[in-house]
Amino acid sequence: MFCPVLIELLEQGCTVGKSGKVFNSLAALSTRSNLETIHRLMLHLAPTRTLEVGFAFGGSALVICAAHQELGHAPEHQHVVIDPYQTSIWDSCGLVGLDRASLSDFVDLHLVQSPLGQRLPVHAIIRTRRPATVRAVEVGQPINGPADGSSPVG
């Protein structure tokens, strides 16, 4: 289900950034359970464009981009990622992982901060192939199932 680069991240529990900086703690990496849920949601909803706020080590992005590939989508920078700290604090770890997994062409990275250092509102927007189905989910809020009543997470 996961690409080899993500399996390596999960199993080794460490990674190396672009400059060679070693990250021995991957506390910012999503849990295996969360990554599996994202994968199932991606395959069930089959979105054509996705948005992620926060990139860190790139675990979620690896799952999302691999799912875009699995769904037969051509790499067209359809996964928009907003993370002002990817190239500084995170030493481009997420980008390095995507390059290693040959998935970087699926990502459109925005290194932006909100005005005056305020936090950006966090929403995940998923557009499916079905017309007029757009879901906005506040982080920390439960995700309601699809309109047809089927379960996105099995």
d(CA 126, CA 135): 6
Q: If DSSP codes are grouped into helix, strand and coil, which group holds residue 106?
A: helix
Report field, pTM of the whole predicted structure over 0.85: no
Phi first, then psi: what are they for 52, rounded to 5°?
-135, 135
How do residues 119-154 score in pLDDT, each as one tens digit?
544 444 444 344 333 344 444 444 444 444 444 444
pLDDT, the chain, mean: 80
| pLDDT above 60 for 67 | yes
d(CA 137, CA 92): 27
How do residues 75-93 score in pLDDT, each as one tens digit?
999 999 989 889 999 999 9
Q: Output the CATH code of domain 4-138.
A: 3.40.50.150
Max intra-chain CA distance, the chain: 48
| pLDDT in the model for residue 142 | 42
